[in-house]
Amino acid sequence: MGEDILENATCFIIGAGDMTVTGIDRKEGDMCIAADGGYLYCKILGIEPDLVIGDMDSLDGDVRGEIDRMRREVPEKVRVLPAEKDDTDMLAAIKEGFAAGYRKFCLYGALGGRVEHTIANIQCLGYIKNHGAKGYLMDGNLMMTVIRDETARFQESMEGYLSLFCLGERAEGVTIRGMKYLLDGAVLTNDFPIGISNEFTGEQGSVTVEKGMLLIVITW
């Protein structure tokens, strides 16, 4: 697979959390990784993952048997991790995507279940950003992404709510344009949730942070 394809391709990672979407727009050149129990969602959606990775602790016996057969027949498609490890299954999948040359990631099945897993998956968006790539955590009516020292722009067709959270001690020079509530060069901190529930207005919108990292949450 050539680098020119990877520049425009997406690495989809399907986790074992809640998932309400009924399909994924996978194109030629995209990669799909099932992180542990995310393999079950792949089966439901009729998606053949390129890789199944994890400690397999969220799979029942029948599915584990299916994974074991796949491991014997196509060993490069399965990577079983130890139960005691530093990386979560989601982060391990992200690292595999980076190793394959991808620089855009869409994470599904990353919310719900145990709250610590949800928080860890949100932190994974920061890991993706800090390694020079774009990451999106997706569900049926929700999208999260992280920006750092940059501007995110939104089309006039966007609807719903936008919330901002500071990832780090401070986010400086935060400017919001084209939304219901505006800011100009503000400072956001991680102990005061002032960025909650802004609204799209039918205009082109933007969020800028001059120094620091912001989590953007969009719901519709």
Instruction: Report yes or no: 209 and 173 within 8 Å, Cβ to Cβ.
Output: yes
DSSP-derived 3-state class of residue 17: coil
Distance from C-alpha of 154 to C-alpha of 152, rounded to nearest angstrom: 7
Expressed as residue numbers, the domain containing 185 is 146-219
Percent of all residues in the chain with a pLDDT value above 70, rounded to a whole number: 98
Predicted TM-score (pTM) of this structure: 0.93
Query: Looking at the structure, do residues 59 and 115 belong to the same domain, yes or no?
Result: yes
In the chain, the number of structural domains is 2
Note the pLDDT tens digit of each residue in 60-94. 778 888 898 999 999 999 999 998 899 999 999 99
Is 53 found in the same domain as 129?
yes
153 and 135 within one domain: no
pLDDT tens sequence across 165-191? 999 999 999 999 999 999 999 999 999
Which one of 140, 166, 199 terminates a domain?
140
Q: What is the CATH number of the domain that holds 93?
A: 3.40.50.10240
- 90 and 129 belong to one structural domain: yes
